[in-house]
Amino acid sequence: MKIRIIVALFIFLSGSLLVSKELIISDKTKIAENLTKEILICNLADSGIYKPLDFHIINDFLIIGNYKPIEIVKLNLSGKLLIRSNNKEGRGPGEFVFCLSPRKVETNIAFCDLPHKIIFFDFNLNFVKEIKLQKYTRDFLYIDHKYLIFPERSLSNFYLSKYTLNGDLIKVFGKKLDKVNRKDELYYLNSPRLLAYDEKRKTVWIDMYNKYELKSYYNEVLKYKINTESVFFEKYKAIDDDTGKKETKLDARGIKLVYSNDNLFYFFRKKDNAYCDVFDLRKIVHLKRYKLKNKYKLISHLRENIFYGILYDEEGDPLLYKIEISGFK
């Protein structure tokens, strides 16, 4: 009996230690420059794509949610336009205004339409179905071939929600219980934005809107946290071009969170540059920080250490790039 109690206590304490583990990235972290290959593929404006909101690589095709015009487009990896959706702008069935976070869900493409609708199209970009959520969301994960994970946001807190493919809520987790500081002009951004799924460890990773903080959840329980030594996403006052009013903004923002082969890639912008932090998830260690040659607005993962990125040139045209990151192992 004593042996069983000791073993149970050891397992409990080991689990507690895992839950509380936190990685702090030093302010003195060296930045690797000129170690990424970034090749221009094409100007998307040549295909009539003027304002891509988001994109994802699915089955070696680029699926882009476009805002100008409002549509979904399918391209090959060379940037050749293959199909455009024949949808209407609106809020009715099969209609949308925003196309965010396109994902492969079973045999379909699913994406978010703000504020809380998920729309499914087939790979020929024909409308299939849609589901509605209870709260605002802009990103999601499809995991274990049967669940959808969403970051949802209200005025008082954030949380993650687990749904069935039919839109039925299963569980809410990761809820923030702290009181809201209404004096903080960016309090409403204290919520998850990007998500990635570690299939090997069945772990959901998230980043936060208003600070450099990554968190992981295993079985809907917080497991690891990654933070910086000092405040990394700093606030500043910016003048709104339309109103002329000063608004509080952040000088940094996450772009993409990607899991691949035991590594976590966190792409983010800081002032006028874009970076990528690479982590080893087997030991939860920071491997390297890369400074990218271009300031990308959007990033998507192709395979292993190869990504695609979209940025805007001086004339406002969206340019498609292929990005290769190496030397972190």
Report the CATH number at residue 235. Answer: 2.120.10.30
At 266-299, the pLDDT tens digits run: 999 999 999 999 999 999 999 999 999 999 999 9
pLDDT value at residue 91: 78
Total tally of structural domains belonging to the chain = 1
In a domain, 35, yes or no: no
Assess whether pLDDT exceeds 70 at residue 23. yes
Assess whether pLDDT exceeds 50 at residue 8. no
Better pLDDT: 9 or 19: 19
Assess whether pLDDT exceeds 50 at residue 196. yes
In a domain, 152, yes or no: yes
- Domain interval for residue 250: 48-325
Q: What is the DSSP string of 18-72?
A: HHTEEEEE-TT--EEES-EEEEEEEEGGGGT---EEEEEEETTEEEEEEETTEEE
pLDDT value at residue 86: 85
Q: What percent of the chain shows pLDDT beyond 90?
A: 61
In a domain, 23, yes or no: no
In a domain, 210, yes or no: yes
Contacts by residues 122-126 (CB-CB < 8 Å, ≥ 24 positions apart)? 123/59, 123/61, 123/74, 124/83, 125/72, 125/74, 125/83, 125/84, 125/85, 125/86
pLDDT value at residue 329: 77
Question: What are the structure tokens assigned to 166, written together?
Answer: 């039919």
Better pLDDT: 252 or 329: 252
pLDDT value at residue 178: 60
Q: Buried (b) or exposed (e) across 202-215, using 16+ Cβ within 10 A? A: ebbbbbbbbbbbbb
CA atoms within 13 A on the CB side of 207: 24
DSSP 4: H
Neighbours of 240 (CB within 10 A): 10
In a domain, 25, yes or no: no
In a domain, 19, yes or no: no
40: left (phi over 0), alpha (psi -120 to 50) or beta: beta
In a domain, 186, yes or no: yes
Assess whether pLDDT exceeds 60 at residue 321. yes
Name, of 92-96, 117-121, 310-314, the range with top average pLDDT.
310-314
In a domain, 63, yes or no: yes
Strand partners, 120: 110, 129
The answer to which of 176-185, 223-232, 306-315 has the lowest mean pLDDT is 176-185
This prediction's pTM: 0.89
Contact yes or no for 198/216 (Cβ under 8 A) = yes
Distance CA 84, CA 147 (A): 28
DSSP 96: B
Contacts by residues 152-159 (CB-CB < 8 Å, ≥ 24 positions apart)? 153/188, 153/191, 155/180, 155/188, 156/180, 158/190, 158/191, 158/192
Mean pLDDT, the chain, integer:
87
